[in-house]
Amino acid sequence: MPEQLSFREVLRIHAVRRLWLAQLVSIFGDFLAIFAVFSVVTFQLHGTPTQVSMILVAYLLPLAVLSPLAGVFVDKWSVKRTMIGSDLLRGALVLTLLFVRDLNSIYAVFFCLSAVSSFFVPAQSVAVRTLAPANGLMAVNALMSQAIQGMQIVSPAIAGVLVQAFGANSCFLLDSGTFFFSAGMVYTVAIRREAAPAGTARTVLASLRQGFGFVFSNAAVSFVILSMTAGMFAVRCFGALLSVYVRDVLAAGTALFGILNSLIGVGMIAGSQCLRPLAQRLSGQRLVVGGLGGMGLAVFVTALFGSVRGAAAGMLGLGFCAALVMIPANTVLQQETPPALLGRVSSSLMSLLAMSQVIAMFIAGPVAQKAGIRNLYFASAAVLVAIGCIGLIKLRTASAPAEEAAAAD
């Protein structure tokens, strides 16, 4: 197994550094805008819990439905132009939030933002695969994940100050500017994608079939995608009602809720820092199943103790183990998928993850209301641990013939 590159080594690559900086600034703006929108709907429009949750549903639905089709075009179009065009469109769409203050318009803007993002996200995955060496993919994906988690920690506090001092529109203006900045950074990067091989599907329907055919025929890719989808469902059942858990079980308020969310980000940053030595000894698939099992234990600890300390430990553990799932899973997809199919495969994963979250949000509330939120959390923990155990058994079964053949030689 080749030695994995460090963060410092991959950041020495000019194109990777610029792509990472674009991601860092853009994600910061996104969190500002999301915080501002929730503030507007909650405190200015006095939205009900259902109306507030519909913001997330409006954003997830296009990712679930449009992503597979978007992946077809990402595999055909110029990666660089797709990313720049997506950034410019999203920058313009965010500006419309300056002028709308009714729920339906806000839902429509988030729906359109998500539709455009369904093109950007797989294009970025292709760009990472193109720009980074094979033994640097884990480090680049970890850096991208750290950008998200780091901004998740610092952005709410900054957004709160901006909204209080200058109003929600200040966050929307900044977010729009970050998209234009990202487009400018991507413009300076040379992204030379491999030419599509002969026999590439020509029609949209044939391209979709080709992408799904690869996903279900490649054992490593299908294993990672199905594991992540099931795991995301269980995690969203847990996360969708974390605020209710804080209110009803921990008898606390928004301050603790914000701290617990930040601890998830801290845990993910810590987990990504530990990935390099772990990746030297364990395959990406084993890291995924181990991370899923660890996430289950973290949720179990949170539900078992029903205390602030237990919840804090659980959130740190959840974030740490989530890094062991998300980053290696993306790396496995980039390594195992032919470049001509990477857009479709990345989009398929994005679609399934979004769909599982939407389903989980509709299920979690009624189940928690009937069975109790702690029982829902115990069930989520059991699902995560079960997925990890099943995955480990499958990996051992798959590796047994190879080990026997090696022993025979």
- Give pLDDT, residue 194: 66
HEC letters along 286-322: HHHHHHHHHHHHHHHHHHHHCCHHHHHHHHHHHHHHH
- Give pLDDT, residue 198: 47
- Give pLDDT, residue 405: 52
Distance between CA atoms of 119 and 49, rounded to whole angstroms? Answer: 30
The winner for highest mean pLDDT among 81-90, 196-205, 245-254 is 81-90
Distance between CA atoms of 384 and 302, rounded to whole angstroms? Answer: 14
Task: Work out the mean pLDDT of the chain and round it to a whole number.
Answer: 85
Q: Which residue has the higher pLDDT, 102 or 148?
A: 102
This prediction has a pTM of 0.78
Distance between CA atoms of 66 and 60, rounded to whole angstroms? Answer: 10
- Give pLDDT, residue 408: 54
- Give pLDDT, residue 66: 87
pLDDT tens-digit series, residues 138-181: 989 888 888 887 887 777 778 878 888 888 899 999 999 999 99
Lowest mean pLDDT among 19-23, 52-56, 90-94, 122-126: 52-56
- Give pLDDT, residue 49: 63
Lowest mean pLDDT among 254-268, 280-294, 322-336: 254-268
Alpha-helical regions (H) of 75-136: 79-96, 103-131
Residue 116 banded pLDDT, cuts 50, 70, 90: very high
How far, in Å, are 56, 63, 148, 350 from residue 358 at the CA level?
9, 10, 21, 12
- Give pLDDT, residue 220: 82
pLDDT tens-digit series, residues 213-241: 888 888 888 888 888 888 888 887 777 77
Exposure class string for 28-42: b at 16+ Cβ within 10 A, else e:
bbbbbbbbbbbbbbe
Contact 340, 196 (CB under 8 A): yes
- Give pLDDT, residue 115: 93
Residue 93 banded pLDDT, cuts 50, 70, 90: very high
Residue 254 banded pLDDT, cuts 50, 70, 90: low
- Give pLDDT, residue 371: 87
DSSP letter string over 5-44? PPHHHHHTSHHHHHHHHHHHHHHHHHHHHHHHHHHIIIII
Contact 175, 32 (CB under 8 A): yes
Q: All domains of the chain, ordered by start, with CATH?
A: 1-191 (1.20.1250.20), 204-398 (1.20.1250.20)
Kindly report the length of the chain: 409
Distance between CA atoms of 174 and 110, rounded to whole angstroms? Answer: 17
- Give pLDDT, residue 195: 59
Query: What is the percentage of the chain residues whose pLDDT exceeds 70?
Result: 93
Mean pLDDT, residues 252-263: 78
Residue 212 pLDDT more than 60?
Answer: yes
Residue 402 pLDDT more than 60?
Answer: no
Residue 257 pLDDT more than 80?
Answer: no
Residue 201 banded pLDDT, cuts 50, 70, 90: low
pLDDT tens-digit series, residues 33-58: 887 887 788 778 877 767 877 888 88
